[in-house]
Structure 1
Amino acid sequence: MSIVTLVSGGLDSTLVACLAKEEGVHQYPLFVDYGQRARERELAACRTAMTRLGLPDPQVAELSGYGRLIRSGLTDTGLRVIEDAFTPGRNMLFLLTAAAHAMQMNADAVSIGLLHEDTSLFPDQTTAFLVDAEQMIERCMGRRIRVLAPLSMFHKHEVVELARSKGISGTYSCHLGGATPCMDCISCNEFKFKEN
């Protein structure tokens, strides 16, 4: 089996790549530049993570015009990173781009680092979205390309613990893109959990 792994340099996608490597799955890491504010730090962390995992340097899908057209707090410094965080169609863009790349590479699936549905804030983070996306991709591509979300049964604290046990470090998840995580954006806030 081979997959296109969507990687962002963040903890979730790095763990997804790590788990796939442990299972012996051949991977084509793909980083999507959708015009995000944190692009440079995300891509640097992504390249470092892939090197540490012994995976190829990620291909970069240069789609920054999307973020100029579809403005959100993740793409536009004039908008609020928390209140305006929803970027309509972002995860579909990721999956469609990854699926097209999978077609070119003759890969069987694409993988995305979405967590448990009860942590979802937006409609494109749900199980129903993933099911529908897989069907749409099959319709678009003319063949089935599976959509995998291997962390979909995990909550953030479980991801953090599993990543720690795998020795994953040096990831970058802040939407603002600063040298120090802001600890206020949605991604940073995911790390503020209570241990059970």
Structure 2
Amino acid sequence: MSIVTLVSGGLDSTLVAKLAIEEGLRIYPLFVDYGQRARERELAACRLAMKKLGLPEPEIADLSGFGKLIRSGLTDPNLHIIEDAFTPGRNMLFLLIAAAYAHQKNADAISIGLLHESTSLFPDQTSGFLAEAERMICLCMGKQIKVLAPLALFTKPDVVVLAAEKGITQTYSCHLGEEEACGNCIACNEFKFEENQ
């Protein structure tokens, strides 16, 4: 089986790639540039992670115009990184581009690093969303392409523990894109939650 794995250089998506390797899957790593503020740091971490996992350099989907049109705290430094974090259509965009790439590579599935829906903040992070996305992808691609979320039963503390067990290090998960994690964005706050447990 082959799979297009959405990778961002963060802990969740790097763990998804590692789990796919352990499943013996043929992996096509895909990084999406959607105009995010953290693009450079994310991409550098992503390239390093794929190299450490023995995977090919990630393909880059240059969709940077999306962030210019769909402004949010993740794409526009003039907006607030937390209050304006919702980026409408972002996860559907990720899944659609991954599915189109999977179609070209004749891959069977795509994967995304979404966590347990009890931790969801936005409508495009739920199991219902993933089921509907898979149905729509099958319709528009004219073939079955599975949409997988291997971490859907995990919370961030679970991910942190499992990633440490598997030797995953040097990932980058801050939405701000600075050298040091900001400690305030949604991604950083997930790690704070883990530390407070």
Relative to the length of structure 2, the TM-score reads: 0.98
Matches of 1:114 and 1:195 in 2, distance apart? 21
Structure 1 unmatched ranges of 5 or more? none
Runs of 4+ in 1 over 4 A off after TM superposition: none
Give the C-alpha shift of residue 23 in structure 1.
1.0
Kept after mapping to 2: 8 A contact 1:157/1:195: no
- Counterpart of 2:39 in structure 1 is 39
Kept after mapping to 2: 8 A contact 1:35/1:64: yes
Matches of 1:102 and 1:15 in 2, distance apart? 20
Would you say 1:186 and 2:194 are equivalent positions?
no
Alignment of 1:8-157 (within 5 A): 8-157=8-157
Identity rate, percent = 72
Matches of 2:109 and 2:22 in 1, distance apart? 17
Larger mean Cα displacement after TM superposition, 186-195 or 168-177: 186-195
Matches of 1:194 and 1:94 in 2, distance apart? 29
Relative to the length of structure 1, the TM-score reads: 0.99
| Amino acid corresponding to residue 187 of structure 1 in structure 2 | A
* Cα shift readout 1:149-184 (whole Å, capped 9, x = no counterpart): 000000000000000000000000000000000000
| Amino acid corresponding to residue 157 of structure 2 in structure 1 | H
Count of aligned pairs between the two proteins: 196
Matches of 1:140 and 1:122 in 2, distance apart? 24
Kept after mapping to 2: 8 A contact 1:33/1:61: yes
Structure 2 unmatched ranges of 5 or more? none
Name the SS of the counterpart of 1:190 in structure 2.
helix
Give the C-alpha shift of residue 12 in structure 1.
0.0
Q: Over aligned residues, Cα RMSD in angstroms?
A: 0.7
Give the C-alpha shift of residue 194 in structure 1.
4.8
| Amino acid corresponding to residue 24 of structure 1 in structure 2 | G
Matches of 2:196 and 2:176 in 1, distance apart? 26
Matches of 2:155 and 2:27 in 1, distance apart? 24
